[in-house]
Amino acid sequence: MRLTTTVIGSLPRLHQDLETSIRLAVDLQVKTGIDIVSDGEQRTDMLSYLSNSMHGVTVAGERICLTGRIKPVANIGESFKVVDFLEARRHIAEKGYSNSLKVGITGPITFAFSAAMKNAGPYGNVRNIELYNDVAHVVNKVAKLIQSYDGLTQIDEPGISAGFLDPDRILEPLSIATEGLDPKLTSIHVCGRLSAKTIKSLSATKNVSILSLEFAGSSGNIDLLSRSVMEEVGKKIGVGCMKVNVLSKDDLTVPEMAAEIVSKVSSKIGIDNVAYIHPDCGLRRTKHDLAFLILENLVNASKSFKVKREKA
């Protein structure tokens, strides 16, 4: 069996009408051969997507501003994340697809820092851990509702590698965000260059079965992996093996190169501890034609790696 493939979440916007765009995003992934698909995050950017799940923030373009203490809205079912997940879920059922559906939810560290970087409001300081914990409670409610429909949930945390919060302090809000979640349905995605401290904190997060990390653009992350640590904490690795910051076809990660990245990761943790492969990050800002080629190359890399294993 070839390696399982998935996306991090976002694709370029595919149609002016939102529902049509979500359905097209699902169809595109299924047709390309992606196993675990997303709704394509067709509505808006990752910060605005979560903003209507809580009180205490306003949206201005793609900028989130803190206006008060953050708390979840009364009806989490109206969250953009939930609404769009359910639309994709209905489409999958109508089409008879067998693919699993994953939802990326902006993590508490990334969202909280972004909202408070200009004005921390009642929290006083952008480093106040209460700010991150309050957002984490919102993330947790959204994730629990999606998981009640058997949806896979991925906590997206690009802010961790960007240094929004010290690696020693990320565990508390992440643990609140994942409290009571089903580990089999829960992953955390962090792109960018990581540190040993960050890996340690991520590995200690409970109720998470997969750490989805970037390796194509940050090959040094491979050196931070350890089979013994992964097996001790009961986690597998999602291997980001396709660069997404590309401007032309010449910049694309070819399938053979991606397969080599997977091979290096598996040599550190064992192939049984590779959960799936995916692009390094989301594809929202990637040109349409290049984004689709990245997905095709990903699927071909999965097939290529299968051949290499069979010949070994």
- DSSP line for 23-59: HHHHHHHHHHT-SEE--TT-SS-HHHHHHTTEEEEEE
CATH of the domain at 235: 3.20.20.210
pTM to 2 decimal places: 0.95
Q: Identify the helix (H) or strand (E) that includes residue 244.
A: none
Inter-residue long-range contacts of 113-118, CB under 8 Å, 24+ positions, other chains counted: 113/159, 113/164, 113/165, 114/47, 114/64, 114/159, 114/164, 115/47, 115/57, 115/64, 115/65, 115/66, 115/70, 116/66, 118/65
The tally of domains found in the chain comes to 1
Spans in the chain with pLDDT lower than 50: 310-312
Give the Cα separation of 69 and 82 in Å (integer): 23
299 found inside a domain: yes
Are 243 and 253 in contact by the 8 Å Cβ rule? The answer is: yes
Name, in order, each residue with C-beta under 8 angstroms of 237's C-beta and a sequence gap of 6 or more.
210, 211, 212, 213, 225, 230, 265, 269, 273, 274, 275
Q: Which residue has the tokens 């501003």?
A: 65
7 found inside a domain: no
Give the Cα separation of 115 and 21 in Å (integer): 28
42 found inside a domain: yes
4 found inside a domain: no
9 found inside a domain: no
The tokens for 131 are 């700010």
pLDDT at 306: 64
Give the Cα separation of 160 and 123 in Å (integer): 20
10 found inside a domain: no
Give the Cα separation of 17 and 295 in Å (integer): 23
Specify burial of residue 60 (Cβ count, 10 A radius: 0-12, 13-18, 19+). Answer: exposed
pLDDT at 62: 73
Between CA 232 and CA 256, with CA 35 as vertex, the angle to 5 degrees is 80
Inter-residue long-range contacts of 164-168, CB under 8 Å, 24+ positions, other chains counted: 164/109, 164/110, 164/112, 164/113, 164/114, 165/109, 165/113, 165/127, 165/132, 167/195, 167/197, 167/198, 167/200, 167/201, 168/197, 168/201
Are 225 and 239 in contact by the 8 Å Cβ rule? The answer is: no
Give the Cα separation of 21 and 5 in Å (integer): 21
Q: What is the DSSP string of 140-172?
A: HHHHHHHHTTT-EEEEE-HHHHTTSS-GGGSHH
Range of the domain at 39: 18-311
pLDDT at 304: 85
2 found inside a domain: no
Q: Which residue has the tokens 């097996």?
A: 231
pLDDT at 305: 80
Sign (positive or negative) of CA dihedral 277, 280, 285, 290: negative
The amino acid sitting at 288 is H
Give the Cα separation of 128 and 100 in Å (integer): 37
106 found inside a domain: yes
**What is the chain's alpha carbon radius of gyration, rounded to the nearest angstrom?**
18
